[in-house]
């Protein structure tokens, strides 16, 4: 799989040295920079990249699945371990285009073993806008994430059976919202979330998405989203994921509303802040030290799993990380 296409060219690093690329892949020089116990490729050690795409391998194979802190019900340790594993083993096959770098664990990516009809594909897309951002969730990032998933699984025009949208900084609250909180959330839905929900709705209506859902919504928040979606002819949520770390028991009102509206309530163990900027920087530092010190901001994390329908077993699980700087 080639995540980023690049033509044969010369790449000039930050220290002025020239490095030759063949189809976007670095031809490494014999001299290397030592960074602790990690030997860094000369082409990357001092270079600052303005965009990063990282495909973890299949965590069911690499051994990074299930690496959770068992004392917690919410964790990003599986993602952190998968990113670290990919950086350690796959940096030397990175693809370069200008100031963008794409790193992929190609050893466990690629076509499914059987016909697509034998599997169920579930996606959860975490948008990672900075807290307090007034920018709408990016539809371009949505399209980009789906394209990367198609590349990871070698499935063009992919059909996603279950798609969960995780909006930034969303934490489940079992208590009722007061009028001012409802008003603020309504404004956020109208200004920040409705454009991408409309696009997801179009993909749902066209059949590219089978079922569409959200994560960590209360009953009142589901009502707000339903009202906004209905007003513009969009679909309403069919799934709502809730982490029971945020409440011991699901509120009765939420259960009754979900039953009446045909919304499936599911539990999950994902961290609400799945990839902070500081965490990404610390993961990059041993491998791409100059880039780790840059203003690289995580844009999104796409989490996917592939279930063998007839056996109820997960055969593929992985993450796609996208980060950039202005």
Each residue's pLDDT tens digit, 255-281: 999 999 999 999 998 988 899 999 999
User: How many angstroms separate the CA atoms of 103 and 24, rounded?
Assistant: 12
pLDDT score of 326: 67
**Has residue 109 got a pLDDT over 60?**
yes
- Confidence class of residue 232 from pLDDT cuts 50, 70 and 90? very high
**Has residue 321 got a pLDDT over 60?**
yes
**Has residue 16 got a pLDDT over 50?**
no
Beta-carbon contacts of residue 276 (< 8 Å; ≥ 6 apart): 298
For the chain, give the mean pLDDT: 84
User: How many angstroms separate the CA atoms of 264 and 241, rounded?
Assistant: 8
Instruction: Count other Cβ atoms within 10 Å, centred on residue 72.
Output: 11
Taken in order 3, 9, 15, 17, the sign of the CA dihedral is positive
**Has residue 54 got a pLDDT over 80?**
yes
User: How many angstroms separate the CA atoms of 6 and 175, rounded?
Assistant: 51
pLDDT score of 246: 61
pTM listed for this prediction: 0.85
**Has residue 3 got a pLDDT over 70?**
no
């Amino acid at each position: 799989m080639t995540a980023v296409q690049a033509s044969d060219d010369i790449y000039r690093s930050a220290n002025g040295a020239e490095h030759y690329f063949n189809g976007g892949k670095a031809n490494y020089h014999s001299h290397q920079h030592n960074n602790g116990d990690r030997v860094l490729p000369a082409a990357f050690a001092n270079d600052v990249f303005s965009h990063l795409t990282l495909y973890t391998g299949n965590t069911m194979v690499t051994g990074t699945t299930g690496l959770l802190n068992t004392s917690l019900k919410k964790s990003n340790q599986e993602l952190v371990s998968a990113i670290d594993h990919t950086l350690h083993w796959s940096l030397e096959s990175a693809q370069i285009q200008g100031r963008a770098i794409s790193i992929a664990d190609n050893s466990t990516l690629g076509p499914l073993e059987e016909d697509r009809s034998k599997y169920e594909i579930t996606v959860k897309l975490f948008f990672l806008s900075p807290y307090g951002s007034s920018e709408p969730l990016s539809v371009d990032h949505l399209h980009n994430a789906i394209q990367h998933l198609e590349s990871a699984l070698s499935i063009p025009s992919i059909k996603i059976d279950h798609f969960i949208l995780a909006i930034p900084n969303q934490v489940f609250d079992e208590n009722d919202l007061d009028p001012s909180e409802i008003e603020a959330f309504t404004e956020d839905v109208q200004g920040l979330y409705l454009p991408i929900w409309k696009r997801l709705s179009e993909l749902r209506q066209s059949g590219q998405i089978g079922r569409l859902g959200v994560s960590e919504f209360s009953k009142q928040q589901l009502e707000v989203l339903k009202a906004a979606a209905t007003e513009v002819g969009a679909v309403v949520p069919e799934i709502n994921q809730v982490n029971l770390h945020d409440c011991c028991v699901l509120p009765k009102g939420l259960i009754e509303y979900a039953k009446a509206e045909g919304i499936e309530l599911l539990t999950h163990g994902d961290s609400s802040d799945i990839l902070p900027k500081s965490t990404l920087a610390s993961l990059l530092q041993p491998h791409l030290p100059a880039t780790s010190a840059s203003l690289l901001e995580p844009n999104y994390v796409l989490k996917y799993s592939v279930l063998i329908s007839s056996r109820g077993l997960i055969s593929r699980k992985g993450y796609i990380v996208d980060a950039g700087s202005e």
